[in-house]
Structure 1
């Protein structure tokens, strides 16, 4: 913290309860909340009366929200943007939980009863706010509860949102290489901005500041994977001082779908979000569906709203460095000791799992190889790989060290599967025993061996099995649709409109990849999308993989492994040496609602298909695999491949076989 005035730090936390507002003040930060709604209406810090957008209504400054719908046959999906019913959660009761010089904790609750059926989500919601002595910020968390006898319902999205002052906060920081001065929200308005293929994407044609002319602004360009989404925010740069506003997420145990799930962060507004659950980059597979007799309770957070400042007013670097250090401090303090709710469990109420992960791929190396940098995690019990679709419970993840050892600490009591995936190998690992975490337990699972799917030797492969399409060819954007942040950037896939570049590169014939000659970093387009035709319709596309076999075992079975990094409303058909074969050798059916292509992602939900190929389908010499994406409903229909591999038949005398 840069504001280090000792006479301020000795002040205790004070609480001022007014008729319609409550004020928490520790001498460094003053936070005003509406009573009893529990909306953050004002944040005063370092001489700035309110960091939040003062021209907005008080209810539209700092709040929790929820997108929900009735479950079962009552689902309507007629709410905001057709995605459900939007609820800016307003409490109806206010209670002081803790009040002393060291800490204030406030509770704003909303209780549900059957008179509210169809009007509000059937949830009891308790929003909590904490301020500590000497802290340059405050904490927010909430407890959601659905009782057993209550009706069915769905949750699409829930989050915390802050709307900051547009006249102050112009510089946005998401990560080391993802920070910039941002346009104004006014630049997106009609006349100044031109809406593109969907409402979130706007080309700035007459922005207030000419430097942004021609850029595309789209909030999805600033999405971030959960594992990296630990601190982001905004900086107000002023000649006399700079102020930083940061959202710090010390843990992602309460977020949905594990470490790879992508969430919105900050975007033009200036808006700062802490999203706990969303269906972005996953689609309907990640809607939280609750049955009419399904009890559920979950704690979201706490997250820390951190403020810092500098007097030079000319640089953002030190504020960002300080925010990152504060993030480290918060992570090291997790789980916090100060939340008063019994639903937030302290460290001594949690448990630990440790062990070692090895990998064995017999056709590469018969040895048991320690896995470095692999993610290992606990997720609620489900099928293999179900962690990426799991949203109701908690997940606890870590990474293996150089020798494959891992330690998952501070896991909440409950039954879990132990899961992993390993970069460089296909598929998902799941331990064959359910792990039961109890308070204070320390479980050692010993050495675990992941044997990834494999039937025979690799004849050829395309890509890297890493659950992403990032290694494939990502084109330059159309010069009309550039976000300058991503020019010459490692995340070049975040540019708008890249799906249109495919038809420009392949106007008449589709992609043809020749094994041994083609280079997947240059010759394999990152997404198999549709091709736009002159009459504003779209057509499916068929890619070809040409490969040569010097010998074919006609009595053997080959295996084609196709790992997909994301799919949206697509149907993958696979044929071999006969482009007109009907039925195809394989059809996925219509799959996926990830919408990753439109949202500038490089992965969504991971899918792996293993397809038997009888030797009689192959010939000695030249062969072709035809990959057809058969649907044609929009430009955003398509497939992002992760990895493709053809395996030969198993060695009948393979000494490594059991």
Structure 2
């Protein structure tokens, strides 16, 4: 532990912060992190890269009216430097970029204030930024905002994202032509002649290392040895989800081959254009992203380095989480604890076809997000969101909510649908709102006749095949996240080369007989076709002039159209179609879910038979070079009888 006061000084074209433990260099006035000195190493960042390509904020943006998730990549370059605070205990500096209207169409219309903070006796530094768009400025879109750190490839070889998600990693050179063979999508590379032969035959893809926001609090790299013969850890700690979009189960990138480690604030990954931030004409906007913490650690015992460094990083992460909201950021736009409020209550589920009594909403996801329709929080990306998990009694408490207007939202594992209170909640400084008991009544018309899957917004419970031995990632062999292996979508055509999946209620087992994704079937190298799955079931005493209800909950959809037919594959038009939905690309990016969709379909009894029945589920879309990734993942399917089937 150093007792040195935090120092700040100018060295040539750099601004330097130094607390005796860590020394960080920033380009002036650009605000790029160019050098991090720690534990005798002159620079933890990649010296071979240009100054602007080591540690930086970036934004991807596009003109208003642009569709899709792509845009112009722009590193955030500061044009002025200011000292915000300088004491023995803390230094905070600012690199600002004020939008120049003469650069319309060439630069994102944003004012951006990048802040960096170093505290005394702190083994690292903090970064946050204030993004602002003024009312009179052009409308435009933002698909991505993040911080990137590119570490030395000769030092950092071991990556850790979780207790069971860590490993030695290939080199970036292994992905180059001659050593790596580009697959589809191009982010995936087969390592055919890597520098280290232990990686030969593996697939490397950054999307295999994505995490849900709820788990994405700390990740990074450890070195094998430093100049002082000690292992070093470089970690990005994200202590809060309030500035990230899409709720707790939204997936984001973490760390990947480079070695690269990220702090993702906004991204369209696993959601698509639905979560692209679109600023409209005459719409002002301002948001604080961060602070996040770069934490550095070291350990003397080389035999325990990676595990011990990871354990220490988790310990530090918990300290940062408990310290949120931080009391040190100097910007008035970052609200301190005294400026925030809290809510609490108990969520109960009322479903009389499951229980005569209200059911405790155990482990429910409960959050405050900007006002909108039920489920709108999935696609909301302009404001702040505050989420928690209920306890075993359905009780929840959300602390330190920024002042503003919100709706209360919830969803409950084990039940379909969304809860929203539809009442605008005004959070002010110091408020403590207790909602008491809240009742959620999930969609329900009649008793369950049969069901497939578990309503938890994931397809993980269904059959996930073993990967093709030619395309493996060793980390995910015999791993709970086996769905992260490359190319699993191609296994469907191998299992069902001519006929599609048929599931028989009461006989089939969805963990073995229901493929995790309804993908297209590959006919030859360039041609794919849509697929039709069948659910066969038996009914007794089909009532006359009754309405049955089919509930289709989807965990993912990617440029797909799901058509539903009952007892006739030639039924035209189908009884129901989703239309073309989804662009979450979860199939191609090794996710087990994207955005959640729920469809409630009336099935007239005149379409049903006493005895054997069949529901046909057709995914029609299969076109273009990415046809292999078109498809859906089911979360849960349920057929309900008419209410008259229920005995009171």
Return the TM-score normalized by structure 1: 0.96
Helix, strand or coil: the match of 1:141?
strand
Aligned residues of 1:168 and 1:236 also touching (Cα < 8 A): yes
* 1:60 shift after superposition: 0.4
Identify the match of residue 341 of structure 1 among 328, 331, 344: 331
The residue number in structure 1 matching 2:340 is: 350
- Structure 1 unmatched ranges of 5 or more: none
Helix, strand or coil: the match of 2:315?
helix
Distance in 2, Cα, partners of 1:312 & 1:477? 37
* 1:18 shift after superposition: 3.1
The residue number in structure 2 matching 1:94 is: 81
Identify the match of residue 160 of structure 2 among 161, 166, 173: 173
CA displacement, residues 101-157 of structure 1 (integer Å, 9 cap, x when unaligned):
100000000001311211111100000000000000000000000001101000000
Residue 257 (str. 1) matches residue 246 (str. 2) = yes
* 1:200 shift after superposition: 0.4
Q: Which stretches of structure 1, 4 residues or more, deviate above 6 A after TM superposition?
A: none
Distance in 2, Cα, partners of 1:653 & 1:529? 37
Residue 628 (str. 1) matches residue 621 (str. 2) = no
Residue 375 (str. 1) matches residue 365 (str. 2) = yes
Aligned residues of 2:446 and 2:645 also touching (Cα < 8 A): no
Higher mean C-alpha displacement, 627-636 vs 238-247:
238-247
The residue number in structure 2 matching 1:141 is: 128
Residue 284 (str. 1) matches residue 273 (str. 2) = yes
* 1:70 shift after superposition: 1.3
Distance in 2, Cα, partners of 1:593 & 1:260? 17
Q: For 1:70-89, what aligned pairs fall within 5 Å after superposition? A: 70-72=63-65, 75=66, 83-89=70-76
* 1:360 shift after superposition: 1.0
CA displacement, residues 17-53 of structure 1 (integer Å, 9 cap, x when unaligned):
2341100000000000000000000000001110000
Aligned residues of 2:540 and 2:611 also touching (Cα < 8 A): yes
The residue number in structure 2 matching 1:150 is: 137
The residue number in structure 1 matching 2:421 is: 431
Identify the match of residue 408 of structure 2 among 392, 407, 418: 418
Aligned residues of 2:126 and 2:292 also touching (Cα < 8 A): yes
Aligned residues of 2:503 and 2:513 also touching (Cα < 8 A): yes
* 1:366 shift after superposition: 1.8
The residue number in structure 2 matching 1:571 is: 561
Identify the match of residue 53 of structure 1 among 46, 55, 67: 46
The residue number in structure 1 matching 2:209 is: 222
Aligned residues of 1:242 and 1:314 also touching (Cα < 8 A): no
CA displacement, residues 233-278 of structure 1 (integer Å, 9 cap, x when unaligned):
0000128210000000010100011111100000000000000000
* 1:653 shift after superposition: 7.4
Residue 44 (str. 1) matches residue 37 (str. 2) = yes
Q: For 1:151-550, what aligned pairs fall within 5 Å after superposition? A: 151-238=138-225, 240-315=229-304, 316-534=306-524, 536-550=526-540
Aligned residues of 2:402 and 2:427 also touching (Cα < 8 A): yes
Distance in 1, Cα, partners of 2:497 & 2:540? 34
How many equivalent pairs are there?
Answer: 642
Helix, strand or coil: the match of 1:366?
coil
Distance in 2, Cα, partners of 1:281 & 1:611? 26
Distance in 2, Cα, partners of 1:490 & 1:19? 51
Distance in 1, Cα, partners of 2:411 & 2:67? 37
Identify the match of residue 638 of structure 1 among 631, 635, 642: 631
Distance in 1, Cα, partners of 2:522 & 2:141? 35
Aligned residues of 2:462 and 2:510 also touching (Cα < 8 A): yes
Residue 67 (str. 1) matches residue 57 (str. 2) = no
Distance in 1, Cα, partners of 2:368 & 2:340? 13
Distance in 2, Cα, partners of 1:310 & 1:649? 65
Higher mean C-alpha displacement, 397-406 vs 147-156:
397-406
Higher mean C-alpha displacement, 30-39 vs 396-405:
396-405
CA displacement, residues 444-490 of structure 1 (integer Å, 9 cap, x when unaligned):
11110111000000000000000000000000000000000000000
| Alignment RMSD | 1.1
Helix, strand or coil: the match of 1:507?
coil
Aligned residues of 1:70 and 1:76 also touching (Cα < 8 A): no
* 1:431 shift after superposition: 1.3
* 1:347 shift after superposition: 0.4
Aligned residues of 1:237 and 1:314 also touching (Cα < 8 A): no
Distance in 2, Cα, partners of 1:346 & 1:502? 52
Aligned residues of 1:567 and 1:591 also touching (Cα < 8 A): yes
Aligned residues of 1:543 and 1:626 also touching (Cα < 8 A): yes
Distance in 2, Cα, partners of 1:572 & 1:228? 32
Aligned residues of 1:76 and 1:84 also touching (Cα < 8 A): no
* 1:654 shift after superposition: 5.8
Return the TM-score normalized by structure 2: 0.98
Aligned residues of 1:187 and 1:204 also touching (Cα < 8 A): yes
Distance in 2, Cα, partners of 1:501 & 1:138? 46
Distance in 1, Cα, partners of 2:456 & 2:264? 25
Helix, strand or coil: the match of 1:367?
coil
